[in-house]
Structure 1
Amino acid sequence: MTADRTLTIATASLFVGIAVLGLKVAAWWFTGSVALYSDALESIVNVVTAITALVAVRLARRPADAALPYGYHKAEYFSAVVVGVMIIVAAILILREAFYGFLEPRVPNAPMEGLAISVAATVINFVWANVLKTQGRKARSPSLEADGRHLMTDVVSTIGVLAGLGLVYLTGWAQLDAILAALVALNILWSGWGVIRESVGGLMDVAVPVDTQKLIREVISANAEGAIEAHDIRTRQAGKLTFIDFHLVVPGAMSVDDAHAICDSIEAKLREAVKDVQITIHVEPENKAKHSGIVVV
């Protein structure tokens, strides 16, 4: 996916978030439900996270420069951490409202109008959450994926709220409204923790998945004819970029041109196998061979 398309999706996400927020505020205004109020609070977070994701995606597009020679791709991980923190803040606010709602319970008003509006907002969120998750994976964008996962959590929470409100209207048990709001908050807390945990992994230069590591080793082994071994293979993920570096041991008598040709061959095949990759190869003479390298060719 092109950077322009990623930016377009991030921009659209902001407008979708604003539209859904308007619908959920209307649903709460019609009913006075604490649970629907908590749902609207979460949508405020959705708008904030959409703004954060948009800023991060724009920043990540900037080319590497003297200040950040490896690029700005990690900006998206910072964005995802902010999203996680905002999710947790929303959960705390919802728990506060649920507490007061439990102390002073009342059956919500205008059930059908409020429920209908909330259902419409949920359908929009469900569709857009799937778009964000799918496109985020294609673009390898942590910001879009985090936004999509949060929206899907919002969908699940709202479905639970709507089902519970139906029981409130049927049974007249007003405190159930506040209990539902508290359950929504707990679900949001779990979602926020998941987003922060994954994003911190990216900031800590987590290695690429095991399957990708295996593929990298196979490509190096199959395209290093003339070399002796490759060792100290390391990988890390930074936003959409994959970084690979390793040591390539060649015969001591090999010319620089021949060693460089082997490196070019390996790099070309790695770029075919792994998208958006940056490769660093350190060439060493045969007396540097470890004979226990990760890949022996």
Structure 2
Amino acid sequence: MLKEMKKLQDDQEASIRYVQSTYDKQLHTIQETRREINLVLDTIEQKTLKEMKDTLTKLQAASKSDVEKRVRLQDELKQLRDAIQDISYKSKLELSFIATRKWEEKIKQSYIFLKKDSHQVKISITFQPNTKIVQYLSKLPGLGSIEHSTHMVMEQEDPNKVFTVQWKSVQNVRISSDSFQCSISAICVLLDGQILVVDSNNKKVKLLDQQYQVVSHCSMTGYPHDLCQTIPSEVAVTLNDHENYTHEVQFITVNNNMLVTGWKFQVLHTCYGIAHHQGDLYITAGTALYKYTMSGRQISKMYEDKLGPNTGKTQSGLI
């Protein structure tokens, strides 16, 4: 017994060291994610600064052109004035008349220029921030989801060792609006301990608290089969309505102990099992496995059992 207790203690201490090492590794991943976000923000900032610099250059070029016109007009007026005075002193009436006419034309141009310039206002550059960026970032729960998993370590000296059921209990999840016997085809436990179950017979998804009491439910448009967690407070449910030949994935959000149905998308095949991994959905259809984006776009058919439904093992769900 002492030997077994010592081994258990060593295993637990090794487990503590292992979880610390995984924590350090994932902490590095979080820091790398932050650096990637910073790089994207730096790129957006540089584009904005370049756009503002281009605007400044364009405005300065236009103002510089007006200044050059004003200086050139002033020089021409001074030259004509001096020429008229010089001709007048020499009593050359014909030349004086010609110079005066040119001077009058320049005076008209000057009046037009001054009138235009007098109505100009000061030009300024303003920056209007894209508030949607801050609003979007502020609504995010974090840089990603934190998950943990437990790995059963099998002892090499006992290859026949199997899992052992420690305890079980029977819970009643039937509610007054149920018309048929409950048939639980899928279950999902959220990070806060709340439990979602799929009651296929009654076309419902039910939310249970940690005491397995039904605290909320929502009715489905078809028969639900499976569900998986996508983000900490959201799940995706597979539905099939064989009478109307529709097959869908319905998203449900848990908000203040209430189930709220969100958007959904249809697929062109039956959908039974569903799993979420790294932003993609994996859906089984009897004897085939499909990969979808979260927006409902089919990426690929990953696998199909050509021999038929009797040999297919993908109908019940995904592991």
Say whether the fold is shared (TM-score over 0.5): no
| TM-score when normalising by structure 2 | 0.21
| TM-score when normalising by structure 1 | 0.22
Select the structure with the greater relative contact order (CA < 8 A; seq sep ≥ 6): 1
Name the structure with the higher helix share: 1
